[in-house]
Amino acid sequence: MTSVPGRRSSTFTRLLRHGFTHPAAAERLLDLPEMAPVRTDSVLLDALGATADPDLALRGLVRLVEAQQQDERQGLLDTLISAKPLRDRLLGVLGASEALGDHLARHPHDWQALVTYESSDLHPGVEDFERGLAEATDPVSLRVAYRRCLLSIAARDVCGTTDVAQTAAELADLATATLRAALAIARTAAPEDAAACRLAVIAMGKCGGHELNYVSDVDVIFVGEPASETVDESAAVKAATRLASHLMRICSETTVEGAIWPVDANLRPEGRNGPLVRTLSSHLAYYQRWAKTWEFQALLKARPVAGDPELGAEYVDAVSPLVWQAAERENFVPDVQKMRRRVVDNIPAAHIDRELKLGPGGLRDVEFAVQLLQLVHGRTDPTLRSGSTLEALGALAAGGYVGRVDAAQFDEAYRFLRSMEHRIQLHRLRRTHLVPEGEEDLRRLGRSLGLRADPVAELDKEWRRHGSVVRRLHEKLFYRPLLDAVAQLAPGETRLSTQAARQRLEALGYADPAAALRHLEALSYGVSRKAAIQRTLLPVLLGWFADSADPDAGLLGFRQVSDALGKTPWYLRLLRDEGAAAENLARVLSAGRLAPDLLLRAPEAVALLGDPEGLKPRGRDHLDQEVLAAVGRANGAEAAVASARAVRRRELFRTAAADLIGSYGTEENPAGHDPGTLVDRVGNAVTDLNAATIAGALRAVVRERWGDELPTRFAVIGMGRFGGHELSYGSDADVLFVHEPREGDDEQEAAQAAATVVAEMRRLLQLPSSDPPLLIDADLRPEGRNGPLVRTLASYAAYYRRWSLVWESQALLRAEPMAGDEELGARFIELADPLRYPTGGLGEEEVREIRRLKARMETERLPRGADPTLHTKLGRGGLSDVEWTVQLLQMRHGWSEPGLRTTRTRTALAAARDAGLLSPEDAEVLDDAWVLATRVRNGVMLVRGRAGDTFPSDAKELAAVGRYLGHGQGHVGEMVDEYRRATRRARAVVDRLFYGS
């Protein structure tokens, strides 16, 4: 910044020191003749420097002084210099609110309203505001009087005379007085209507809860009744509707004085589609028959504020019992969860990080949690039935439903966030909940909250700190008191009753709260170190369990793992000290059956969840080394293969856990992985793992029977999904077995040895044990099930030369050596290449044969009763459709396009696109469908613990698959629609490319 020479440099420096960010502009304003007292009086300059925005305050003061009559200007400035309370209030408002500065410029005598409230102990109520609005006889004068009253509220607020809760209550009281004044104007304009009906105005939302913002819709419900028995009910309702409509226009319409605030009646029965006014009996009939859970939650804040007081009281008395029965409704939990999701889903992506009210860690999180606790426990405890969030939070703490320390932290966070919201809205009196982005706006906001050293940085730090506290809302408000219901407490300490704890668990989605309480007691009861650590962990874990499709399964699994590892010193320490480990464990235990089953067979694998590298799949070389080492240490083939299968079980758990956590996300690692990447990762990991296990089994069998060397060279060729590196968790391993007698060895003995190896490997890999079996399927061999399990390389060559059918050549597209003699495996691939990539491509007859086989498979192999639009393997647009289309391209063009010579579907699809054999759009459609169908199969296996090719019929299992696919609770229908849409598009491409239609 350049210096200002001469006489002006001293003033310039003073302005900088007092916090002015535009000192040159401020100097020019101070040079105005009427501002001479301000320029020469350090008291006023100090007071300006103490405001949220000294530049804004000075501009507002200049405008206010200029708006006075010539003979009044000196009197205003003299009063400001001599009266500190008034000086602080007026300049405080001018430095915080450009909109109220505009009002004072239009109504220059309204500053005198601030003289009225000189006592810091004086907090006006509805009656005081009614007196302030008493002279208003039309909409314009009501707006002016409203702003004058608002000026006094803002002055007390910015000076700290009132706290945020009292400010919100005063704003609600001013709204009450304004509604009454507007109704009086409407009645005066239509005396016939006023005489025909009784009209009650019921405040809802923040107005009803005595916690209104500076600028907010005022939510109301209107109740009308005939004024006497002689008035027809229909006529009375019509009259009341006209009065209510006029009231809404008075408050909502914008004039030169602006609008007061919109009156919103959309919380009424049937919302905006329902009648504006109903009788009390009509309201009750609706709530008893048709109302949704959120409507009862909204009624929690209902309060009569204007109109007929007796009718208003009758309404509240009539609906209150319904509010406190809402938690007993059958769909209470799903309804509440759906409402919470809808709020977050409707936030524009560009605003979510700045959204103070609705965003994660925002005001709505606190309000939502407090209201849910009220609905759950207020059924039996009338002390909780307050419409005010802070009062209700205090009552929840006093009743033991929320820990006192937790309640204090959330009270502090809520007050800070509400203060931010108030000051943001106060600036221009606009309805917004977005934190501003500009440096100047953030500076003013920070200073208005008392942050002066580095306002912008301090504001961001405090906002993030309080938001972080609120994000742990469920841990703090929902789960910790559950432990107090089952843990030993100090004498006289308040605790949640067993019945209240069950109600809490029901509200959180636990289907068997009694069993859940037993698990909590078993885990946390007592004074041991183990119980103390569990009491620290469980509140967080319960929240993560409740966020899953099956909270009960998650809690049960945690108890089982804890029982198995409870005496292991590192287990609880791992969960306590490694934040990711605990959340990872919770997600894995509550996501389905497969991963918990694998973990419970060897609970020590939980250590993988705390290692930053623990969820990365092991490569083939690493797996071979570990498996072969384990086999080498074992005594006998059976023990050796058992060791290999134990490694496989652990690695399957690692892969499944990584898949689940990558799909669901955690607080530290939010979901966001590309679905194709997740599919490829699972396919490669399971393929490498099965290949290493087969290699270990081969080594074990050979070593026990023949020592170091089998009397024939032997190789295992992967086929199908195994050869394509596309295995799912429940896939069999499709293979071909090939051998070649060693030089000088007897061919018959070699064949017998090879057959023995195959039989023994298959037996040992599926021997009943605690480890999942690895089933080997050799049905793709020549002659299928009728052919020998193992052939020599020469026998394969002879068969393929003389008898091979086109489908067998097609099957060889996925042939890849997986175990055994590498050189023999490579020679088998040399044999297969001319068959699967025939020179010149396929002839037309061969293409027709492939198409006939595919059509017959669709007709004959789809299970009876299966929905062809939802069967992932054989259904329309499913795996088979995409794979056969890609394989036809490989067989027709692989001889000339090297990129197509791959066993992997997605790689071949990308190569076909790059070679111009199909458009990028068609390639994307096929790829999306294939990935989605594969993920559905993986999800079904993870959830059910057994393989399946279609969506589960059980609602809970279906919801769990939905969560795995990234769909929140209540969005199962969207998941199925998305699958049908993706596969329908894929089928259209298949019809065109494969069938030529």
pLDDT of 458-478, one tens digit each? 999 999 999 888 877 655 555
Confidence label for 492 from pLDDT (cuts 50, 70 and 90): very low
Query: What token pair was written down for 854?
Result: 């595919």
Confidence label for 122 from pLDDT (cuts 50, 70 and 90): low
**pLDDT over 60 at 171, yes or no:** yes
- Rounded to the nearest angstrom, the gap between the alpha carbon of residue 643 and the centroid of all alpha carbons in its chain is 41
pLDDT of residue 228: 93
% of the chain surpassing 90 pLDDT = 63
pLDDT of residue 479: 56
- List % helix, strand, coil for the chain (3-state, nearest 5): 65, 5, 30
327: left (phi over 0), alpha (psi -120 to 50) or beta: alpha
**pLDDT over 80 at 301, yes or no:** yes
Q: Which residues contact 615 (CB under 8 A, 6 or more apart)?
A: 584, 608, 609, 654, 657, 658, 661
Question: How far is it, in rounded angstroms, from Cα 877 to Cα 932?
Answer: 11
* Average pLDDT, integer, range 883-902: 96
What does residue 670 show for φ and ψ, rounded to 5 degrees? Answer: -60, 150
Encode pLDDT of 565-578 as tens digits: 877 878 887 887 76
| Helix 126-133 and helix 139-158, axial crossing angle in degrees, nearest 10 | 140
Question: How far is it, in rounded angstroms, from Cα 933 to Cα 683?
Answer: 13
Confidence label for 527 from pLDDT (cuts 50, 70 and 90): low
Highest mean pLDDT (candidates 202-211, 391-400, 501-510): 202-211
DSSP codes, 322-388: HHTTGGGSTTHHHHHHHHHHHHHHTS-TTTTTTBSSSSTTSHHHHHHHHHHHHHHHTTT-GGG--S-
Question: How far is it, in rounded angstroms, from Cα 261 to Cα 767?
Answer: 75
Encode pLDDT of 135-146 as tens digits: 999 999 999 999
* Average pLDDT, integer, range 802-823: 94
**pLDDT over 70 at 99, yes or no:** yes
Question: How far is it, in rounded angstroms, from Cα 226 to Cα 240?
Answer: 9
pLDDT of residue 128: 93
**pLDDT over 60 at 822, yes or no:** yes
pLDDT of residue 579: 59
Q: Which residues contact 575 (CB under 8 A, 6 or more apart)?
A: 533, 537, 581, 582, 585, 610
pLDDT of residue 494: 46
Cβ neighbours of 917 (radius 10 Å) = 19
Q: Which residues contact 772 (CB under 8 A, 6 or more apart)?
A: 598, 645, 648, 649, 652
pTM of this structure: 0.65
Encode pLDDT of 233-289 as tens digits: 999 999 999 999 999 999 988 877 878 999 999 999 999 999 999 999 999 999 999
pLDDT of residue 486: 52
Question: How far is it, in rounded angstroms, from Cα 348 to Cα 479?
Answer: 31
Q: Which residues contact 343 (CB under 8 A, 6 or more apart)?
A: 358, 364, 368
The closest of 558, 609, 555 to 580, measured between CA atoms, is: 609
pLDDT of residue 203: 98
pLDDT of residue 753: 95
Confidence label for 908 from pLDDT (cuts 50, 70 and 90): very high
Question: How far is it, in rounded angstroms, from Cα 929 to Cα 983?
Answer: 5
Encode pLDDT of 67-84 as tens digits: 999 889 988 998 998 899
- Find the length of the chain: 997
Encode pLDDT of 38-63 as tens digits: 777 788 889 999 999 999 999 999 99
CB half-sphere exposure, 84, CA atoms < 13 A = 4
pLDDT of residue 480: 52
**pLDDT over 50 at 121, yes or no:** no
pLDDT of residue 258: 79
Positions of E strands within 187-249: 197-203, 218-226
Question: How far is it, in rounded angstroms, from Cα 414 to Cα 477?
Answer: 13
> 212-216, 274-278, 428-432, 493-497: which has the minimum mean pLDDT?
493-497
Q: Which residues contact 278 (CB under 8 A, 6 or more apart)?
A: 222, 223, 224, 237, 268, 269, 286
DSSP state of 39: H
Confidence label for 9 from pLDDT (cuts 50, 70 and 90): low
**pLDDT over 60 at 6, yes or no:** no
From residue 892, alpha-carbon distances to 41, 98, 927 in Å are 93, 74, 20
pLDDT of residue 668: 47
Query: What token pair was written down for 69?
Result: 């009559």
pLDDT of residue 281: 97
From residue 438, alpha-carbon distances to 25, 434, 442 in Å are 20, 12, 6
**pLDDT over 60 at 701, yes or no:** yes
**pLDDT over 70 at 487, yes or no:** no
**pLDDT over 50 at 997, yes or no:** yes
* Average pLDDT, integer, range 418-426: 96
pLDDT of residue 427: 96
- Rounded to the nearest angstrom, the gap between the alpha carbon of residue 204 and the centroid of all alpha carbons in its chain is 28
* Average pLDDT, integer, range 924-948: 95
